[in-house]
Structure 1
Amino acid sequence: MSTARREVAVTAAGVCSPGGVGVSALWEALTTGRAHRPPLTAFDTEGATLRAAGQVAGHTGADGAWRALDLAESAVLEALDGVAEGDREGIALVLGTTDPGVVPPEPGHLAGDLAGACAERTGLGGEAVTVATASASGAVAIAVARDLVAAGDAPAAVVGGADAVTDMAFLGLNSLRTLGPEGCRPFSTRRRGIGLSEGAAVLRLEPLDATAPGDRAPLAVLAGCGLTNATGHLVAPAADGIEQAIRLALADAGLEPRDVDLVNTHGPGTRRGDDAEITALRAVFGPHLTSIPVNSVKGVLWHLQGGAGAVEALTCVLSLAHRAVTPTWGAEPVDPMCADLDLVLDDGPRSVPELRTALSVSCGLGGINTALVFREA
């Protein structure tokens, strides 16, 4: 009997973000640079470096930490479109969040059981796993779910991340001097920190060989995952930890650095974060890096916290589907350390007909680094 790992495909997705509700709205936001980032009114921001946040326009529901559950439910239901309620029993749900202390309003769940509460709302009866690994939570969740499906422990999985903007998260980051007065400006000389956002993004994963004729065509294949926990500082990422995660993901996918056609970075717009990530990418790709489009979505969406890695993974999937790369909004004027890189400073999406493989990098406090490799189905 063969023990080869089954390939895992992305067959559907769901999202709600400052760019709007739904996958098509996300793509439009990424290509136009428009997102909803109004002043915060839910709590007092007097004296904060930044007084606005990325918000999901028109999304009603709970406030505070419980809002993450509402946002997750919205994204999961979009990803389940076309799946009858009777067919959801065995589907696993893996959700990343930066706030594992959230207490869902549903009875019968432990504090922090975001995935369990969301599974109950959406009728998913498989394993429910909540992942809390800071800003890399959504990406780590995707790696966990890929292994569940590849090993046959779940026939399918819905996976991603969700977070709301709470006073604890916003004011806590402000006290750490992490917020920038202009929000996220990845790789720009004007970058001074991040802008915080709410939102949720998920992918539906299924074995590639389980897709039968007439079924929804796969959007992409999740070919490789790499995770490391390596840093010498709580809030400053280490380039060698990021580098190792990327190398692990490429090896897992059976690919060489020259096979990568797009790098979607964590790109938060913090000086230490950007510098460490670019240093890691140079170590992996060498001179070839200058010929690969390198972008960040945080210039338009800002930082979705636990949903960041998931929405960025979805961006890679959409780029493969559209054969196009979205711009790095807010990057100009570009820091001289990045002057030789192709940061995609176009006014709209760039057509890349040869786009076949995309790498997504996510980093979190405490040295959590994740790299995901997607390729065309």
Structure 2
Amino acid sequence: MFYFSVSMREVAFIKQNKEKWLNFEKTIYNNQFKNPDELSSLYIHLMNDLAYAQTYYPKSKTISYLNQLASAAFQRIYRTKREKTNRFISFWKTEVPLIVYQFRRYVLYSFLIFGLFVTIGAVSAAYDDSFVRLILGDGYVNTTLENIEKGDPVAIYKSGSNWGSFIGITLNNLYVGLLSFIYGVFGGFGTGYILMHNGIMVGAFQYFFHDQGVLWESVRGIWIHGAMEIFAIVIEGAAGLLLGASILFPKTYSRMASFKMGLKNGIKILISTFPFTFAAGFLEGFVTRYSNIMPNWLSVGIILITLSMISFYYLIYPHIVHRKLKTHVSTL
């Protein structure tokens, strides 16, 4: 059920369509539709109502409700389509992008939170000489200062074997991502803490290299793996924020039903980051250690390619999939 503060005209509009929307909601979330054509027909009616509401009641919460139903319908329609690809490929190709599109605001929130604390970390390091050691630890700072004197600022990433570094780093990053998501059960505040912690570390870390006059050397080395690693952490943060929001803001659903949906969608977003986390671990274990002997064009090229890949998948591709599916539905 849904209850909004509305005008008399909108009251009539809601009253006229309320039963249809509730039936549609049951159809979507209880898998009661018989075939894709039935679902597509219901979806087209819903889109007509949404367009009407956007035109005549642009500030109404009815729009938010209908948008939520429409987004859920996208995923259901997709799942009932006859696909030539198998379930595994479909998950990455369509299902995850549609979920990311539906909850894209949490990706934005995660980036904003992380960016805020990166800034705080850098500013704090600039005004407090002891801050970097507090955040990164004396051991790391002292070792890196020695490496800078030797002319290899990122030599610390060359320690250990290739495979040992790859496995250890990847497991640690997977743990951080899982923790970021699970902590979302605390209303998203736990996830915010993880984003805060990592953001401050990144800000202090990069300012430290800037202060030592080797910022460029650090960027061309560390961000070979860092582009995917940090981006994945932010996306995992978005999954945690989604989980937290499903508990705090159940909207028209019971809190338990909302939590189950948030958990399910959040897990899918979390899983989608794993290939990027593995790729980042591989790069850190096998490529970053050779950054000091690489030509600039190669290290910068790797950074741009890895950043472009993960940015495209989470920021651009979801909109492409959304438009294609919307076009497909409109032609049914």
Which is greater in Rg? 2
Higher strand share goes to which structure? Answer: 1
Q: TM-score range by the shorter chain?
A: under 0.3
